[in-house]
Amino acid sequence: NHDPLDGRWQVHVYGEPIDGVQEAVSAMGLPYHRLRWTDDAHQAGLRRQQLYLVRPDGHLGCIADDIEALAAYRDRHGLRFG
């Protein structure tokens, strides 16, 4: 999951995303990366279909259940993407 890191805010999703998530993330101006769901991901404590907002420094900004929670985080912190 380190391959897509490029110094920008971005969203990672493990496994199959919920319908419409990729489009909504892109509309927010965020790069979207779908990563394979693996036993290693499960053992690391990652959750399927969660939206992992990765900060430019590579750390997690938030883990959201849906696009609404991601938008609420963005708005609460006054973030702009893209």
Query: What is the structure's pLDDT at 47?
Result: 95
Please provide the DSSP assignment of 2-52 as one string: -TT--SS-EEEEESSPPTTHHHHHHHTT--EEEE---HHHHHTT--TT-EE
Cα 65 to Cα 55: distance, rounded to the nearest angstrom: 17
For residue 81, what are the CA distances in angstroms to 9, 46, 70?
Answer: 7, 24, 12
pLDDT band at 71 (very low <50, low <70, confident <90, very high): very high
Query: What is the structure's pLDDT at 18?
Result: 85
pLDDT digits (tens, 9 = 90+) for 6-65: 788 999 999 988 899 999 999 999 999 999 999 999 999 999 999 999 999 999 999 999
Query: What is the structure's pLDDT at 34?
Result: 94
